[in-house]
Amino acid sequence: MQPLLYHLYSGQLFFSAAILMVAIAAASLVGLLEGRPALRSVCSVIAMASIPAAALSGTPMPAPRAALLLGATLPFALFGIAAPPRRRTLLAAIAMAATIAGVAAESRWHLPVTPLSKPRRIIVVGDSLSSGGFGESQPWPQIVASQVGAELQNLALAGETASSAIQNQLPDIPPSRAGDCVVIAIGGNDMLDRLPPGGFESALAQILEASVAGGQRNVVILELPIVPGEWRYGTIQRRLATRHAATLIPKRLLAGVLLDPANTYDGLHPTQRGHARIASEIRAALRW
């Protein structure tokens, strides 16, 4: 695995940046920077660097929350550290409180998911990450189904976007029955091709509506490791997963697999080892 890239694409960079901001704000509040102009300058540079670092982390934070967090931390980083005591205390307290609140809100998406009962049938909606066809003998859906003793209907097709999956995969989703689990692993091509996020949201909503129809299925979404600048895709996944009571497996799963050169042919399409790793990680996440 490439540790620095994993730190970025798993979202851990956001927490590292937050720790730096909180530590500097705390040091300022308790007076550790008093009478130390050189240290204050270093802390100011670090605090300023933590803000773009958090942004680069690909954390899909809703725009209003991101704006509030930026508005609370930027003034402190820019001129709060060297400000007179009363102003410095106020700005440091605001920056610390806002950062801690941001960490608390983001942390829920990184916690282990609620275990699901073992499925009797697995239905996969996805793209080349799930379809295979790149030299491996068994793609991960086949491995998971075999290991848990479930029937498999792998609808995934190489090159699919969320919109094309509506045409090519949605009609083949079978009627709901007890013991079903639909795994949705779609959206990577939408993000990499920079297709309009609004179209992705509409299509993913339709896929989820079809997946939960009948009320007897568990629905699982694999969260995308977000390319910097494409945060809206992650925000959409999280919002729709919440709306439809779907289980969202944190993006660190795919990031950890795809960033290991031994797991892919080209940095994206899994080798047999990569498929086996995805299968293992999904089973561990869902306690299957």
Residue 40 confidence (pLDDT): 92
> Which residues make beta-bridge pairs with 277?
none
Residue 253 confidence (pLDDT): 96
Give the DSSP H/E element, type plus range, for residue 249: strand 247-249
121-286: in CATH 3.40.190.10: no
10-residue mean pLDDT series, the chain (288 residues)? 87 96 96 90 96 92 93 95 92 98 96 96 97 91 98 97 97 94 98 95 97 92 93 96 97 95 91 97 98
Residue 1 confidence (pLDDT): 58
Residue 31 sits at φ, ψ, to 5 deg, of 85, 15
d(CA 140, CA 231) in angstroms, rounded, equals: 27
- Report the SS3 class of residue 200: helix
Closest CA to 46 of 85, 78, 12: 78
Domain segments of the chain: what residues? 3-107, 121-286
- pTM across the whole model: 0.92
d(CA 95, CA 24) in angstroms, rounded, equals: 10
Residue 171 confidence (pLDDT): 95
